[in-house]
Chains A and B, each alone.
Chain A
Amino acid sequence: MGAGLSMAEAAPRFEMRGIRRTFPGVVALDDVSFSCAAGEVHALCGENGAGKSTLIKVLGGVHQPDAGTILLDGKPVRLNHPLEARRHGISIIHQELSLLPERSVADNIYVGREPGRLGLLDRAAMRAGAETWLRRFGCRFGADAVAGSLSIAEQQVVEIAKALVFNARILVMDEPTAALDETETERLLALVRQLRAEGVAIVFISHRMRHLFAVADTITVLKDGKLVGTRPRGATSPEEIVRMMVGRELKDYYPARRARAPGAPVLTVAGGGNEWIEGIGFELYPGEIVAVAGLEGSGKAALGRAIFGAAPFSRGQMVVGGQAVRPNTPLDAIRLGIGYVSDDRKAEGLALRQSVLENALLAMRGIAAIFSRPGRTAPRGRGIDQLLREVDVRAAGYDQQIRLLSGGNQQKTVLARWLALAPRILVCAEPTRGIDVAAKAAIYRLLRAYADSGKAVLTITSDLPEAIGIADRLLVMHEGRLAGELPAGATEEDVVALAAGHQFEAAPA
């Protein structure tokens, strides 16, 4: 064997050896090795806080390792700055979306490397280049759309285009599918396969086993900053990966449903509509979890916002607890006993630089008298500390800034914020977006326990298995209208058919 040559050929596109990275009080990565060859899709998974994002931030020059080396095509390099990584063809789509909300899609895609002639911006080239990428992804918006007006899923697509527009040799995607619905995910996975065929080395981070197994060649699991193992996809199973991630068998992923005592609905909507939705009519009963499914743009997010008064109904009726109401602001809705967990945790849910405690107390603060003493006790008399312990928020301390927590712990904090008020209706938009399997199971248990305590939960989710697994009933939306209702035990095919707008002669009872 001509050792020299074949060795060079066999050298992975990048290799990280013995990486260690600490933050004050945490070892985020401890002796982690990770590599990816040209034309390989290497999936990275692990619980929230396992160190996945930190590892790829080291690769992207965002963080410098305390120990360990990085080799590109077999040669050691030092990446002191994200720009250096970019020069080496490393392109990273970070978990936190970072578009400039006021600028156009084209501006965002080309930010920092605008094409130009003689120092003048070549806007036509930018727009044409951007359109090419948007078409490739089958987008419904154009290059001139303002980034801030796009949905999260659409923004995600722009981030992807932004990463791809200069020819990336190494592409890292940190939870690209978290915000995407099934169709968009399929499109993304197809794109990933295409890039793999073009010889790009791809790192793919996701909490959804289905997506990992649909696209990965190799799967690496991290736990508590340490490498648990690397497996070729063919030699492992979702069960094994979950076991490696969690460290134990995960049982009762979806909590058992309990028969609900019949009673009056706590919420009735009839003929509800506004700019985005039309003719919405349904009832919500105490003790049940109802999931709203539908494609991105079907109006399911708008429905949640309408009920919560963030983008109120302008038509139709809404009855809460037997009384006709019309919440026009979130505060109105909260006073009626409605809570809302936003699908955009960072932009709409958290005050990132405030403590876990202040974030958990926020809804209570909102209704408190403005010059009152800032208390720590929920109206039901439970201390917020106790509540945070019950929902199992893990932090160095509850006065730690919330931005330093993992996504799952941030989400549990937002849930605790609403549980503290004990609203009779809790609307949760994408309650498990970007959080790990164990935390998901914990959130399902929390929501089920909340429903069992006699409250009603309306979850809005693009994660079909989740909708089916957790709900007592499913409402499916299509183009701003309710396309139908399905009982527990519906199959994914049933939901997909309704969501795609197929009409049935005789709708299932």
Chain B
Amino acid sequence: MTAIGSAARFAPVRLLGRIHPSYAALLVLLIAIAFLTPNFLSPLGVMAFLRRGASLAIVSVGQLFVLSMGGFDLSVGSLITLAVMGSALMINNDPALTWHAIALVYLMGIGSGLFLGLVVSYLKVPSIIASLGALLSIKGVALAWSGGSPQGYLPDNFRQFGRVTYHDVPIIQVLPMSVVVLAVFVAICAWLFHGTTFGRLALIVGDNPRAADLAGVRVRLVRIVGFLVSAVSAVTAGILLGGFAGPAQDVGDGFELQAIAANVLGGTQLLGGRGSVAGVVAGSLTLTALFTVLNLIGLPKPLRDAVQGGILIAAVAYSVRRQGWEK
């Protein structure tokens, strides 16, 4: 049919329309970085950039699963902190315990995601409140456990995920392990979101949960899986950050808001119904590029935070405007 054919022809254009603001901003920022740092446009520079952006990209993609179904997961930042601090405490200088610790922090993440999902879908607590509560309690647990100051130390076999770089790789020359983790995680999420029934249902639940329920969709299950993916993404990001930066009590601070901002930049609709993994990855890299530029021009940390907050508001305002235009 001709009508359907023409719609198919326009599909790529529409896809571009969905993520283009982020791509445009990303391009401008990358050019800025290239000017500010001479060797940025080498494989080494690009890989270093991706390595820096990997954890944010991972939590952002995780956040997509909750945002697209009309929720928020504000607990991811403190879950990152818990993953880092918990690993350091559990390993306690014994490299033999690394894998146990990793398994345990994933279990904690899954427990937290499951709990949030259950609370939101059975007790009908708005996810923004439930996850804010989770943020506070998880952070409290992390701080109490570590006795208020960073303790323990992360052995090399833990830190490799965030730190190790393979050399002499053909074509790209270098390949940080965190970029491999990023690629694998994004691939799995892209499959989940775009290649399974679950992904379609997530968008439908975000669009109209009542209609989904009346069509036999297991809305609660869909919501719970969404929170699980988000929690697992936070733990994964935490493991990379622990290797990258070492144990610190504030490693995860602000990641929840950055992840939401990355989603908005990447075309995810707040309150649900729309979003794509590719868009979110682009959005998160845009934010990373922005932080890099702010860093390079020498803005102090408090000012950087202020700028970041401003950008979050601007991005949301823009996306709301854009949704308004579509009407």
Contact = CB atoms under 8 A, between A and B. Distances in A.
- Chain B residues touching A, majority SS: helix
A308 B199 CA distance: 26
B253 interface: no
A334 B218 CA distance: 12
Interface stretch (B112-120, B203-211, B241-249): B203-211
Contacts of A21: none
B7 A370 contact: no
A412 interface: no
B56 interface: no
B8 A330 contact: no
A417 B197 contact: no
B208 A351 contact: yes
B217 interface: yes
Interface of A: 308, 310, 330-331, 334-335, 340, 342, 347-354, 358, 361-363, 365-374, 385, 389, 395-400, 417
10 contacts: A330-B216, A348-B210, A349-B214, A350-B211, A351-B212, A354-B273, A370-B201, A370-B218, A373-B195, A399-B11
A358 B3 contact: no
B4 A363 contact: no
A353 B274 contact: yes
A460 B208 CA distance: 23
With a 10 A CB-CB cut-off, give which of B6, B197, B273, B274 has the most chain A CB atoms: B197
Interface in B186-243: 192, 195-201, 203-204, 207-208, 210-218, 221-222, 225
Contacts of B208: 347-348, 350-352
A308 B216 CA distance: 10
Contacts of A371: 192, 196-198
Interface string B58-72: 000000000000000
Contacts of A374: 195-197, 199-200
B222 A363 contact: no
A347 B212 CA distance: 11
Interface of B: 1, 3-4, 6-8, 11, 192, 195-201, 203-204, 207-208, 210-218, 221-222, 225, 269, 273-274
A370 B221 contact: yes
B204 A348 contact: no
Contacts of B212: 351, 362, 366
Given A365-B197, A397-B3, A358 B215 contact: no
A410 to B, nearest CB: 12
Contacts of A372: 196-197
Given A348-B211, A361-B200, A362-B204, 17 more contacts: A330-B216, A335-B216, A349-B214, A350-B211, A351-B273, A353-B274, A365-B217, A366-B212, A366-B215, A366-B218, A370-B196, A374-B197, A389-B1, A396-B6, A397-B7, A397-B8, A398-B7
